[in-house]
């Protein structure tokens, strides 16, 4: 008998720990699902913060030993919201124990780790499910864009333009795991290009076949230690830019940076096709901009479509009346609802990335790193 409530074991209590905790408790309240959630146990290193976190977000139990989740019969799915260097070990342990795993992005620090994770998911078999928190797939207007592309509304696609610009990485920002390659793998590349590569692959529904012209500069070579004592070396990219080609011939450009003053969280994607163009930006995430090439020249231009109604936003019916926007956290809740649907044998509203899918994103990220390192074009068929 499948459980009527999915027991969640969460690892991590920081930014993503908060986002995921909220999603697991909200999803059954706003969506009609065949299963509920039980916030069984949360695990994190810092015991002093953990008890308060568990209480605030409604976790039944807490532990500083994440390994104990593997043997806990109350846990059906382990949610990994830890720094990138922990993903592989934690996922492998949980998959070996037969738990479903939902892992934060990027899937892993390196392609080699991602490959081991993909293989472990395959070995675990079809009954054990994996998911990766590429949360922006479930932003309202991205759902609409995905449907328009599936309907062929843009015709042949010529260009994909993707940029993720942030500004929190100035020299005054202290050291953290995000600037340490042994923990993060890469910098803006794995953090932000991971989103862009996933989103564009998702929207286009076709693979990237080559990558060229990548640059991955580190502008700020050391930062003040978070402990306040001395400086520490930074060995990840502050920005990562590259060009790519999709299987259907469309060209793509990617730009990720933490040093674009004036841009807080500017995740913007534009796609130009022969029948029209569409554009989406996280900083106005309910809006999809659409330009129809068949409009008369007098009226042709960008239309702003509010993706807030049940007719154009796949999850709208579960939220508020038309025009009442949803935000960053709803992407996670929409995803949690789809994960719960899959675990109870239903179809997700939009395709969910599993480890095999996220591995394909990691291949593109790796190709860009190789292109930057060797200053040459890299064919994806050489990156396996
Ligand atoms: C920080 O750069 C960050 O929080 C990322 O880690 C997230 O993935 C992104 O969604 C927002 O920015």
Ligand 1 geometric centre to CA of 201 (Å): 19
Residue ranges making up the domain that contains 193: 139-321+354-374
Both 284 and 304 in one domain: the answer is: yes
CATH number of the domain to which 152 belongs: 3.30.360.10
Both 117 and 255 in one domain: the answer is: no
What's the number of domains the chain is made of? 2
- Supply the pLDDT for residue 297: 96
- Give the DSSP letter string of 231-283: EEE--S-SEEEEEEEETTS-EEEEEEES--TT-SSEEEEEEEESSEEEEEEGG
Tokens of 246: 């999709």
Residue 315 lies in a domain: yes
Both 117 and 146 in one domain: the answer is: no
User: What digits encode the pLDDT tens for the residues 171-192?
Assistant: 999 999 999 999 999 999 999 9
Ligand 1 geometric centre to CA of 2 (Å): 35
CATH number of the domain to which 95 belongs: 3.40.50.720
Ligand 1 geometric centre to CA of 95 (Å): 26
* Tokens 């976790």, residue located: 59
pTM: 0.97
- Supply the pLDDT for residue 1: 54
Which 3-state string (H, E, C) describes 275-325?
CEEEEEEHHHCCEEEEEECCCCCCCCCCEEEECCCCCCCCCHHHCCCCCCC
Cβ–ligand 1 contact at 191 (below 6 Å): yes
Q: Is the dihedral of CA 322, 295, 251, 243 positive or negative?
A: negative
Residue 229 lies in a domain: yes
Cα–Cα distance measured from residue 47 to residue 67, given in angstroms and rounded to the nearest whole number: 15
Both 196 and 78 in one domain: the answer is: no
- Supply the pLDDT for residue 141: 96
Q: What is the mean pLDDT of each run of 10 residues along the chain (384 residues)?
A: 86 98 98 98 96 98 98 98 98 98 98 98 97 97 97 98 98 97 98 98 98 98 93 98 98 98 98 98 98 97 96 94 96 98 98 98 98 98 97
Ligand 1, atom 11, residue with closest C-alpha: 265
Both 278 and 365 in one domain: the answer is: yes
Cβ–ligand 1 contact at 166 (below 6 Å): yes
Both 168 and 250 in one domain: the answer is: yes
- Supply the pLDDT for residue 184: 98
Both 108 and 222 in one domain: the answer is: no
- Supply the pLDDT for residue 2: 57
Both 109 and 218 in one domain: the answer is: no
Q: What is the Rg, in whole angstroms, of the alpha carbon atoms belonging to the chain?
A: 21
């Amino acid at each position: 008998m499948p459980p009527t409530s999915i027991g969640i074991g969460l690892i991590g209590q920081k930014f993503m720990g908060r986002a995921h905790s909220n999603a697991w408790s909200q999803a059954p309240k706003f969506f009609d699902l065949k299963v509920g959630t039980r916030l069984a146990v949360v695990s994190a290193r810092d015991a002093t913060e953990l008890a308060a976190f568990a209480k605030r977000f409604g976790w039944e139990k807490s532990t500083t030993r994440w390994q104990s989740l593997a043997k806990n019969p109350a846990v059906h799915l382990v949610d990994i919201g830890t720094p990138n260097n922990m993903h592989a070990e934690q996922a492998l342990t949980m998959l070996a124990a037969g738990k479903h795993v939902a892992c934060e992005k990027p899937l892993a620090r390196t392609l080699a780790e991602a490959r081991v994770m993909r293989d472990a998911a395959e070995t675990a078999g079809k009954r054990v499910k994996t998911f990766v928190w590429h949360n922006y797939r479930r932003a309202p207007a991205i759902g609409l864009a995905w449907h328009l592309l599936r309907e062929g509304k843009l015709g042949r696609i010529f260009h994909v333009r993707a940029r993720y610009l942030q500004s929190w990485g100035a020299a005054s920002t202290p050291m953290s795991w995000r600037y340490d390659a042994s923990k993060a793998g890469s910098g803006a590349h794995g953090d932000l290009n991971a989103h862009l590569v996933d989103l564009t692959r998702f929207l286009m529904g076709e693979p990237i076949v080559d990558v060229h012209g990548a640059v991955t500069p580190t502008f700020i070579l050391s930062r003040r230690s978070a402990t306040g004592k001395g400086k520490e070396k930074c060995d990840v990219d502050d920005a990562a830019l590259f060009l790519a080609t999709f299987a259907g011939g469309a060209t793509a450009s990617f730009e990720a940076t933490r040093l674009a003053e004036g841009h807080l969280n500017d995740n913007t994607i534009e796609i130009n096709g022969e029948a029209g163009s569409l554009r989406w930006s996280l900083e106005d995430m309910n809006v999809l901009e659409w330009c129809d090439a068949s409009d008369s020249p007098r009226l042709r231009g960008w239309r702003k479509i509010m993706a807030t109604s049940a007719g154009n936003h796949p999850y709208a019916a579960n939220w508020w009346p038309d025009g009442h926007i949803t935000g960053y956290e709803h992407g996670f809740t929409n995803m949690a609802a789809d994960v719960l649907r899959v675990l109870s044998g239903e179809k997700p509203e939009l395709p969910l990335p599993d480890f095999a899918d996220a591995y394909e994103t990691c291949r593109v990220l790796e190709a860009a790193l190789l292109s930057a390192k060797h200053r040459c074009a890299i064919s994806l068929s050489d990156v396996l």
